[in-house]
Amino acid sequence: MSGDPYDPERFRSLGHSFVDLLADHLAATANRDGPVLRWQEPAAKLQSLPPLDGTADPEAPLALLQRLLAESNRLHHPRFVGHQVDPPLPLAALLELTGALLNNGMAVYEMGPLQTAMEQRAVDWMCRHLGFPAGAAGVLTSGGSIGNLTALLAARQKLPGDAWRNGLSQGAVLVGEQAHYCIDRAARILGCGEQGVVRVPADDQFRMRAEALPAALWQAEQRGRKVIAVVASACSTATGSFDPLPAIADFCRDRGLWLHVDGAHGASYCLSPKHRHLLAGIERADSVVWDAHKLLLMPALVTGVLFRDGRESYAPFAQEAGYLFAQDPRPHDRGLRTLECTKRALGAMLYTSLRAVGEAPLVAFLDHSMALGAAFADLLQGAPDFELACRPQANIVCFRHRPEGGGDLDAHQRALRQRLLQDGRFYVVQAALPQGVFLRTTLINPRTNVADLQDLLAVIRELAAG
Amino acid sequence: MSGDPYDPERFRSLGHSFVDLLADHLAATANRDGPVLRWQEPAAKLQSLPPLDGTADPEAPLALLQRLLAESNRLHHPRFVGHQVDPPLPLAALLELTGALLNNGMAVYEMGPLQTAMEQRAVDWMCRHLGFPAGAAGVLTSGGSIGNLTALLAARQKLPGDAWRNGLSQGAVLVGEQAHYCIDRAARILGCGEQGVVRVPADDQFRMRAEALPAALWQAEQRGRKVIAVVASACSTATGSFDPLPAIADFCRDRGLWLHVDGAHGASYCLSPKHRHLLAGIERADSVVWDAHKLLLMPALVTGVLFRDGRESYAPFAQEAGYLFAQDPRPHDRGLRTLECTKRALGAMLYTSLRAVGEAPLVAFLDHSMALGAAFADLLQGAPDFELACRPQANIVCFRHRPEGGGDLDAHQRALRQRLLQDGRFYVVQAALPQGVFLRTTLINPRTNVADLQDLLAVIRELAAG
């Protein structure tokens, strides 16, 4: 690219080419053209890409775009049934383009005035759907890991002693054994070490056993720990299991403990009248994390960190004395409440997308994903050579193939997963569960149907035989 | 938007409209049409935006885009001279569109194969420009605050005692009094409290006084603290001052301390043969943070967290035992080394942009920004009614207006800043320095010229008189 890299007409022309190629990509994947993923070994992939040598190459943008389209994991392909990352609504990607070009940093209101208002509206919408009362508030941040860390910082600050000012090492979180690894990470970032993570056992559906909470609390106290929070999953990552929120909330109320719900994946189901019961009790949480880039079909990363009492949203980074003295000192200056200082226009993307498409297509998608999970489980239960890890509670289904003649089942699933990866017709992942290694699918594409899943089983049988 | 929100032809048509409106915006701002910012009070702004009510509005995307264009802080306008947030290269925004649509999550290689290779190449390029030796490595992450936290986690893990496993509260960082607030935040997130932040005094150019480091270390030890790291700024946020890296590096070498350089803003100057001397010594740092969304003209957020010894890049989240036993266990699985699990395609944007434009326009921009800082300082020194906070070392210039008749200078700058904000012809911020409140400008737009800055002074005089 020689000449002025800001030239509006060059941008216009290149922009049209990008949009056309991306539209073609959407059309091809919708039609199931080609594989989900063309596998290449990491070393060979790196080798195929020249190092940056400082020279300019005007052909690079379109050439590299074409490589990205050909070599990415194609999430819009209905046979992407792997990780819980969604095929984004194309409109949302256009908002990302807009947000990136305008680059309004949003730490303070004037660095993104309309973007700030959009974030406030999007956060209000999330709080309302959770069933939070008036006065709830929160922020959008860059992903669930950062969101959970932010919520736990608020919880830590609620303990006596002002941890922000005076430090704290003898903290602990009580968390289900099936929780996402970022909860363990957050506790260790806070300086609590492995003794600061007290695992609560799960039942045979991989849900936290609420009746084991008193023992976990006792264990934390025996270790001389102050409990920062009880962390419930709604739902868990590996199997999509919903912890029993009402019983956990009762326990937290009785013991005066902060309840944080990691709803990164499952909180979106509160939009569905049919499935919202799975989240009953979430309105009693002190804080909730909700990823819009999972089941709200936004691109990564856009996560709500939501507080039932909105004043707590100032607690995570309590160095600003304003927090101590005012109720809601500067609701429009988002940087007081997020780990990011410069921040992307997450609210503009979420607000505009929701405004445009409304809730109905999202509810239809959520219900479809649930129905598909149940239908896939039925298929698997009806197949003598497959075994379900548990009846799915959401759109995540874990299962394993049981070949005739038996053998090492874990090794068999791992080998199958590797063959699926190299085959590319489907994208499937794996999970290590207490009973062994399982294949894991997330049904997160509105176009995936039962015929796709029947074909998946046929492909697995083919690869197992081959 | 009724109908299928994934319809490729609707995306194509809407995408072309978005590109055209954004191209028009680039043309208008390049021509200095209109104000930088149309000020509106936060409450009125929020009021102007309807709450989300769940209904669909097919007109919303273009209507809201037009509002975003009209009501954003227009960073591509050459008279945006406020915060250190850049006017992104339009090409980079197209890569954001691509990254958002493809949504390849990148925690593991197969969730973004080419994107991972691009990140590796971009990180290698950064390490090379810092002057790091072979074996250096790092990751891209979502912003400088998260980047600095990540680097300090690596430093903490280097202390005896395995803080990841066993916790740590009696840590401390030694940091210049002019460092960005996120360093203080990071130490408090780690549970070190306010005693864990030991401030090293600055000289009259706002640079850390390296000769004060022994006293700071003694102070930390008196408090019973283990020093996690010395954090140098290159450059500082408020005044763009470069801490003396060679002397700080000598101190760290002699005392066996981790040296972290927050180069969020200034590290990019290592690309310029003319100005790279400001960063002499950075190649001796154990870790460096470098924001590509400041002086590399990328959209927020894309930050390199770079380690002289690449093996240390596995230290921040050391729960993976692999870190302890292997040199570079899975260089292609980025999730082991970033706070984010799902991660945006930051490397694809940076690699493709650098490949397309090459280094020459960036070096020209960096040199221009420096020359403009010096020219603006000359203007201010030649004006009897203005006072410079210090001779700028980079593209950040702090100054204050001294009205005839004197009075409360701080209140005067604050009032002026508020009038500038509401006037909108320029965007300028303010900084609280030890000697009082100053107006603060960052010269970060390649199109800003000396005539713009002359006009800025004229506008300030006009507003001061009015």
A232's enclosing H/E stretch is strand A226-233
Long-range contacts of B368-374 (CB under 8 A, 24+ apart): B368/B446, B369/B295, B369/B394, B369/B395, B369/B443, B369/B444, B369/B446, B370/B269, B370/B272, B370/B274, B370/B275, B370/B394, B370/B395, B372/B443, B372/B448, B372/B449, B372/B450, B372/B453, B373/B240, B373/B397, B373/B443
- Which residue in A6, A75, A145 is closest to B340 by CB distance? A145
Residues facing A80 on adjacent strands: A427
> The tokens of B179 are what?
């460092």
Report, as an integer, the average pLDDT of B206-212. 98
- Position B333 scores a pLDDT of 82
Closest-CA residue to A302 (of A88, A6, A15):
A88
Given a cut of 70, the residues of chain A with pLDDT beneath it are: 1-2, 319-329
Place of tokens 């896939």: A376
List, as one string, the DSSP characters of A238-259.
TT-PBP-HHHHHHHHHHHT--E
Average per-residue pLDDT for chain B:
95
Fold (CATH) for B360-465: Aspartate Aminotransferase, domain 1 (3.90.1150)
Indicate the DSSP class of residue A50.
Answer: P
Is A217 at the interface with chain B, CB within 8 A? no
Q: Domain A104-357 classified CATH 2.40.37.10?
A: no
Establish how many alpha carbons lie within 13 A of residue A53's alpha carbon, considering only the half-sphere containing its beta carbon. Answer: 6
Dist CA B371 CA B362 (whole Å)? 14
| Cα–chain center distance at B397 | 16
Establish how many alpha carbons lie within 13 A of residue B18's alpha carbon, considering only the half-sphere containing its beta carbon. Answer: 34
Whether residue B356 contacts residue B350, with contact meaning beta carbons closer than 8 Å, is answered with no
For residue B240, give Cα distances in angstroms to A14, B416, B442.
35, 22, 9
User: Which chain A residue's Cα is nearest to B110?
Assistant: A73
List, as one string, the DSSP characters of B66-92.
HHHHHHS--TTSTTB-SSS-----HHH
List, as one string, the DSSP characters of B255-277.
HT--EEEE-TTGGGGGG-TTTGG
Residues facing B202 on adjacent strands: B208
Whether residue A353 contacts residue A89, with contact meaning beta carbons closer than 8 Å, is answered with yes
Dist CA A363 CA A275 (whole Å)? 10
Whether residue B200 contacts residue B176, with contact meaning beta carbons closer than 8 Å, is answered with yes
| Residues 57-86 (A) with a CB less than 8 A from some CB of B | 57-58, 60-61, 64-65, 67-69, 71-76, 82-83, 85-86
Report chain B residues whose CB lies below 8 A from the CB of A88.
100-101, 103
First to last CA, chain A: 49
A189's enclosing H/E stretch is helix A181-189
Place of tokens 């006084």: B209
- Position A318 scores a pLDDT of 77
String of b and e for B101-128 (b: at least 16 CB within 10 Å)?
A: bbbbbbbbbbbbbbbbbbbbbbbbbbbb
Place of tokens 């009362």: A133
Whether residue B143 contacts residue A142, with contact meaning beta carbons closer than 8 Å, is answered with yes
Per-residue pLDDT reduced to its tens digit, B103-130: 999 889 999 999 999 999 999 999 999 9
Establish how many alpha carbons lie within 13 A of residue B332's alpha carbon, considering only the half-sphere containing its beta carbon. Answer: 16
- Position A68 scores a pLDDT of 98
Phi, psi of B366 (to 5 degrees): -60, -45
- Which residue in A6, A37, A348 is closest to B90 by CB distance? A6
Report chain A residues whose CB lies below 8 A from the CB of B88.
100-101, 103
Beta sheet of A386-388, edge-to-edge order: A386-388, A396-401, A436-442, A429-433
**Closest Cα in chain B, distance from residue A436 (Å):** 20
Residues facing A172 on adjacent strands: A227
Closest-CA residue to B385 (of B400, B396, B407, B397):
B400
pLDDT more than 90, % of chain B: 91
Per-residue pLDDT reduced to its tens digit, B6-36: 999 999 999 999 999 999 999 999 999 999 9
Closest-CA residue to B89 (of A10, A50, A52):
A10
Q: B399 in helix, strand or coil?
A: strand
Report chain A residues whose CB lies below 8 A from the CB of B447.
6
> The tokens of B332 are what?
């292609």
For residue B405, give Cα distances in angstroms to B401, B402, B410, B461.
12, 9, 14, 14
Report chain B residues whose CB lies below 8 A from the CB of A55.
358-359
Dist CA B427 CA B82 (whole Å)? 5
Give the torsion sign (CA, A444, A445, A448, A449): positive
Dist CA A461 CA A386 (whole Å)? 10
- Position A334 scores a pLDDT of 81
> The tokens of A66 are what?
């074409």
Is B355 at the interface with chain A, CB within 8 A? yes
Per-residue pLDDT reduced to its tens digit, B244-265: 999 999 999 999 999 999 999 9
| Residues 279-338 (A) with a CB less than 8 A from some CB of B | 293, 299-301, 317, 319, 331-332
Instruction: Locate all alpha helices (DSSP H) within B72-212, ordered by sequence.
Output: 90-102, 113-130, 144-158, 163-166, 181-189
Dist CA B72 CA B63 (whole Å)? 14
Per-residue pLDDT reduced to its tens digit, B441-454: 999 999 999 999 99
Phi, psi of B233 (to 5 degrees): -110, 135
For residue B25, give Cα distances in angstroms to A86, A102, B86, B426, B453.
31, 9, 16, 17, 23
> The tokens of A56 are what?
């300019």
Q: B31 in helix, strand or coil?
A: coil
Q: Count Cβ atoms within 10 A of the Cβ of residue A194 and give its class: 0-12 exposed, 13-18 middle, 19 or more buried.
A: middle
> Parallel, antiparallel, or unpaired: how do β-strands B396-401 and B386-388 relate?
antiparallel
Dist CA A268 CA A465 (whole Å)? 39
Report chain B residues whose CB lies below 8 A from the CB of A427.
110
Q: Cβ contact (<8 Å) for B94 and A14?
A: yes
- Which residue in B89, B143, B356 is closest to A342 by CB distance? B143
Is B458 at the interface with chain A, CB within 8 A? no
- Position B319 scores a pLDDT of 55
Closest-CA residue to B26 (of A69, A102, A438):
A102
Phi, psi of B330 (to 5 degrees): -145, 75
Q: Cβ contact (<8 Å) for B15 and A104?
A: no
For residue B302, give Cα distances in angstroms to A269, A344, A430, B137.
32, 11, 30, 16
Greatest Cα pair distance, chain B, in angstroms, is 70
Report, as an integer, the average pLDDT of B404-425. 96
- To test the contact with chain A by mutation, choose from B47, B124, B190, B341 the residue with the greatest count of A C-beta atoms within 10 A, namely B341
Report chain B residues whose CB lies below 8 A from the CB of A49.
114, 117-118, 121, 351
Dist CA B173 CA B220 (whole Å)? 8
> The tokens of A165 are what?
């000012």
Report, as an integer, the average pLDDT of B73-99. 98
Is A32 at the interface with chain B, CB within 8 A? no
Per-residue pLDDT reduced to its tens digit, B48-69: 999 999 999 999 999 999 999 9
In sequence order, the 6+-apart residues with CB closer than 8 A to the CB of A165 are A318, B188, B193, B194
pLDDT bracket for residue B332 (50, 70, 90): confident
pLDDT at B1 over 60: no
- Position B391 scores a pLDDT of 97
Is A446 at the interface with chain B, CB within 8 A? yes
Dist CA A417 CA A421 (whole Å)? 6
Closest-CA residue to A289 (of A364, A183, A429, A215):
A183
Whether residue B156 contacts residue B190, with contact meaning beta carbons closer than 8 Å, is answered with yes
Q: Which of A439-453, B322-336, B346-360 has the lowest mean pLDDT?
A: B322-336
- Position A182 scores a pLDDT of 93
Whether residue A294 contacts residue A306, with contact meaning beta carbons closer than 8 Å, is answered with no
Dist CA B66 CA B80 (whole Å)? 20
Residues facing A399 on adjacent strands: A388, A439
Residue boundaries of the structural domains of chain A:
104-357, 360-465
